[in-house]
Amino acid sequence: MKTWWKKPKLIGNVAFGVFSLLKKTLRVKIDNEAEIEPGKPYIVAFWHGKHFLPVLMLKDMHDTKCCTLVSPSRDGTMLAVYLRRLGYEIVHGSSRQESLKGLLQMREKINQGYSIGTGIDGPLGPRHKVKPGFIYLSQQCQVPIIPVGSAYSRFWQFHKAWDKFELPKPFSKVAIALGKPFQVSADSSIEEASRELTKRLHAADQKAAHLLGNSKQVTLQHVEASM
C-alpha cells in the first residue's frame, strides 16, 4: 500500500467517499435566479478554486443529463472517477491538448440535450480569466450560460495551487448563488461576452458571500430532499 497515491482511480473513489461524508455536514443556502427549465441544456460556469460546491450540487439542482470536460492526464483520471460517481458523463480534452476535439465533443453533447458544468478559467488558468471555448459553444449552439458563485464560512485554501482551491471545513455554512442565464448573442464578440461573463461570475460570488449572513440555515440533505 506504499504506492496507493500512484493509483488515480483509487484516489478518485476515496475522494468520493470523503466528500460524500463532508457533504452531509454542510449547512447550505441557495440563491437561484436561473429559473432553470427542466430538460433544457445549459452551460453552468464557475471559477476554478470555487468549484467544489457547484460540482457537488449541480446534479441535484438541475434535472438534465450533465457532462464535463476533464484533461487526459493522471490527475484527470482521478477527477473523472470522482465525477462519474457523482453522475456526470466525461469528455476528455483540455485547453492545451486535444482542445478542438474536446470542444467538438462538447457541442455534440449539447445537441444531445446534455448540460455542461465547467470551471470556465481552467484547466490551468490564468485564474479568473474566461476561456473562449465555452463562450463559442454558447454562441454557436444558442445555449445560455448560468454563472454560479459559492462561498464558505470556514474553509481550507490551497495557496500553492494555481486556482487557490477552497475546501469547506466540516459543519461549516456554505452558500451557492445561480445568476440569470446569459445568452451570448450571434453578433457579440468573444471578448465582449467574456468580459460580461466575468462580471456576472464575480457578482455571483459576492451574492453567495452575502448569503452567509442573511438566510436561514438548512442542511444540504434537506435541500436535496426539497428539490
pTM given for the model: 0.88
DSSP 169-204: PTT-EEEEEEPPPBPPPTT--HHHHHHHHHHHHHHH
Q: How far apart are the C-alpha atoms of 16 and 83, rounded to whole Å?
A: 8
Q: How far apart are the C-alpha atoms of 30 and 19, rounded to whole Å?
A: 19
C-alpha cell at 111: 445537441
pLDDT tens per residue across all 227 residues of the chain:
456 556 888 999 999 999 999 999 999 999 998 888 888 999 999 999 999 999 998 888 777 899 998 887 778 889 999 999 999 999 987 655 556 788 889 999 999 999 999 999 977 779 999 999 999 999 999 999 999 999 999 999 999 999 999 999 999 999 999 999 999 999 999 999 999 999 999 999 999 999 997 444 444 444 443 34
The CA distances from residue 166 to 7, 124, 129, 154, in Å, are 24, 16, 18, 10
